Amino acid sequence: MKINGEEWRDRYRERSFGYILGHRKEDSSYDWSKGDDRLLQAVEQNEPDKVSALIAKKGLCPTKLDAEGKSAYHLCVSRGRVDCLEVIIANGADLSVTDGAGLSAVHLASKNGQPECLKRLLQVKLPVDCTDSIGRTPLHHSGYSSDNNNG
């Protein structure tokens, strides 16, 4: 289902509002722009050409974290947007960046059952033995995800 930019922005802001007020507003490095919103939306809607244009022409950073601690890159691997991931890799993003919860892209692809993204991340030699903030590896997350989907 495609939604227009205004609807998407409103939904996104509703999701983020509490976090901005409680945690990141005081962070002076927090500098989120409309372009960053557009990049997230392009990934959400699986539009690799738009992702490419926003990164290359507008100079946006796909690993920049939003108020919830996610980035276009993290959204991409969580949702299985392989074509968008290819664009992000091709543009030289730092793929080692973790999200606000301390999860790597490999963790997120495993947790969300995205084998094609996981395969691509492993091809670019991202570590599989990394741990999150509580010591879990991507394999742990894969098991938890599987348990939750079957329960």
| 55 and 89 Cβ atoms separated by less than 8 Å | no
Mean pLDDT of 92-100: 94
Yes or no: is domain 5-150 CATH 1.25.40.20? yes
Mean pLDDT of 5-10: 52
Residue ranges per domain, the chain?
Answer: 5-150
Summarize pLDDT for 37-91 with one digit per residue, the tens: 999 999 999 999 999 999 999 999 999 999 999 999 999 999 999 999 999 999 9
pTM for the structure as a whole: 0.74
Buried b (16+ CB within 10 A) or exposed e, 36-74: bbbbbbbbbbebbebbbbbbeeeebbbbbbbbbbbbbbb
Q: Give the residue from 59, 57, 113, 106 showing the smallest Cα distance to 85.
A: 106
d(CA 42, CA 96): 22
